[in-house]
Amino acid sequence: MLPAIPFNKPYLSGPETRYIEEAVRSGKISGDGLFTKRCHQFFEQQLGFQKVLLTTSCTDALEMAAILLDLQPGDEVIVPSYTFVSTPNAFVLRGAKIMFADSTAQNPNLDTALLESLITSRTRAIVPVHYAGIACDMDTIQEVASRHGIAIVEDAAQAIDSYYKGKPLGTLSDLAAFSFHETKNIISGEGGMLAINNTKYAQRAEIIREKGTNRSSFFRGEVDKYGWVDIGSSFLPSDIIAAFLWAQLEHLDDIQTQRKAIWTRYFKAFSALPAQGVALPVIPAYATNNGHMFYLVTRSLAERSALIDHLKQQQILPVFHYLSLHKSPFYAAQHDGRELHWADHYTDCLVRLPLYYELTPELQQRVIDGVLEFYVKR
């Protein structure tokens, strides 16, 4: 029997376990140790974020952003329906009402042509999700947000090392959240980061991350004792997690080169599928590809289910992705009834193919052959 090809396989660049041991031997494995500082410095100096704070997850980074915006019950936040539940949930936890936006016909990103129609006097934030690491139309989002005086929070969970008109994703907003979950390009098992590009949020972000205390200021010698000064929670990760992440960041270029090569092989191999009505990823001229994900958009739910079954019979494990959140059991009754056609289309038709660093050309060819065989038979 052929070996199974999983959807994802976490990659070890080499020094992860050595750096974890270094962190343990340093005598400080709680938050904000040596490796956390190295990671912070990398993101601020290499990618140009004003300030970053590692968190235990992207979910936590989004929840911190929601607290920083000081949302009140009834405030409205615009979020795409086709995203992970963490995106809206962070704001629902603060009492916000979610105004779900549809995706575009070209890709699952938020349709910026709809923004104006979703804004009311209660709108406090727009949360674009850079799906598959492909940038949203940030010029339009920035223009609308600026004109209405509302904040932007980028959900850049999948967007490490991806750019919009030459600018790193996550630098184009007041706040941005990243993920280092094991399914992402750069990983720490679980982990995330809040990027702070509006300095008015910087000091309070530290306090929120440290359980509502000014502990960080105390350790910098700025106050002679620290206390409870705001709301917050324990959002900072162990330095063991940061040690793992630092090993990945040291090998960022190599990891990205490999992932992009795999993505490109898929794209070239499936170049004939659009003639059969199967859509490939679309990367607008203003965006770059970071090799996070390769997906196909089939013509129907039945076709996607048949394709997945066909590949599983060959020990290949593709997966579908999000379910439209405006139809979720939790929020459907609060949705305003608008049809979100493209969110539902991607819910039914998008399928993600295996893509990970150690996917060899031979294994990838099995995936390619399996997909092409399915469509030749049809």
CB 52 within 8 A of CB 290: no
Closest CA to 325 of 125, 82, 126, 99: 82
Angle between helices 239-250 and 16-25 (to 10 degrees): 140
Per-residue pLDDT tens digits for 77-127: 999 999 999 999 999 999 999 999 999 999 999 999 999 999 999 999 999
Residue 66, token pair as written in the block: 């929601």
For strands 163-164 and 151-155, give the pairing. unpaired
CA separation, residue 302 to residues 144, 243, 357 (Å): 39, 44, 31
What is the per-residue burial (b if ≥16 Cβ within 10 Å, else e) of 336-373? eeeebebbbbbbbbbbbbbbbbebeeebbebbbebbee
Domains contained in the chain, CATH given: 16-250 (3.40.640.10), 252-377 (3.90.1150.10)
Range 144-156 average pLDDT: 98
Question: What global pTM score does this model have?
Answer: 0.96
CA neighbor of 308 nearest in space, from 350, 260, 255, 249? 350
For β-strands 97-101 and 51-55, DSSP reports them as unpaired
Quote the Cα angle for 184-187-193, to 5°: 90
Taking alpha carbons only, the member of 57, 59, 111 closest to residue 81 is 111
Summarised one tens digit per residue, pLDDT across range 313-338 is: 999 999 999 999 999 999 999 999 99
